Amino acid sequence: MSNQHRKTEQAAKLIWNCWENGKTIKQLPDDLRPQNRKEGYAIQTHFENFSGQSIFGWKIAATSLAGQKHIGVSGPLAGRLLKERVFFPNSKLTFGKNKMAVAEPEFAFQMGETIKPRDIKYSQAEVMSAVVSLHPAMELPNSRFDNFALVGEEQLIADNACAHEFVVGSKMPDLWRTLDLSKQEVTISILGGKKNEGVGANVLGDPRIALTWLVNELSKNNIILYAGSTVTTGTCTIPISINLGDTIVADYGALGQLQVSLD
């Protein structure tokens, strides 16, 4: 085992233990801290091994300028969605020690073809031809750092891009393929309470653009995107604050909705 592999595994173990036990750390120790995005993704790789299951798919964090400002990064970040942290509509999720305490409504694409790394960038048309379905989704992110806005993008990538829990609904009607998703209205609300509204354009201009970004981010970091993976493309609204006992509803108009409750 190389020294670099050992270091990335040690860093991943620290984050994984925090994740499993609902704890946080200030930051990774100097000798384990990733120096660039590639090293951050190398740390993420170990979560798949710790999980013992193949990953469910990928998430994109910070797809809006407001989101990038909020977590102190220069651009979007990719993270792995772990199977044991994926839920389905009408589930009851354990609120636990989620410090971020927000929910985000997202568009999630399911891939029908494997996309391998290559030197030339993938076009949006190529990427969309590999998509089999689009789904309503909701992310409940969290960080393993005391103050995620201060640690920088390399450590946030190592922190699995603040991935935590993810809810995915049944596929949207195929009508989505003919729609301008950038103009599609999306709302997230707490049953009997507040509501946040947004549109697909809030994720890098369009969820299709966000998906293409993810494909090329993985490609340049020599990561394969496997057929069957689900890619969730970032929040369409300002994230909504959540509390114990809330029922959260994400609504996509004619394209469907989903809801979950917090135990």
Locate 43 and state its tokens.
């740390």
Per the document, the length of the chain is 263
| Cα end-to-end span (Å), the chain | 42
Neighbours of 135 (CB within 10 A): 22
Segment 67-89, tens digit of pLDDT = 888 888 989 999 999 999 999 99
The residue type of 76 is P
pLDDT band for position 170 (cuts 50, 70, 90): very high
Segments making up each domain of the chain, as ranges: 3-262
Answer yes or no: are the C-beta atoms of 120 and 216 closer than 8 Å. no
CATH class held by domain 3-262: alpha beta
pLDDT band for position 2 (cuts 50, 70, 90): confident
C-alpha distance from residue 11 to each of 8, 15, 48, 104 (Å)? 5, 7, 14, 28
Mean pLDDT of 12-19: 98
Neighbours of 146 (CB within 10 A): 13
Segment 50-71, tens digit of pLDDT = 999 889 999 999 998 878 888 8
Answer yes or no: are the C-beta atoms of 155 and 148 closer than 8 Å. no
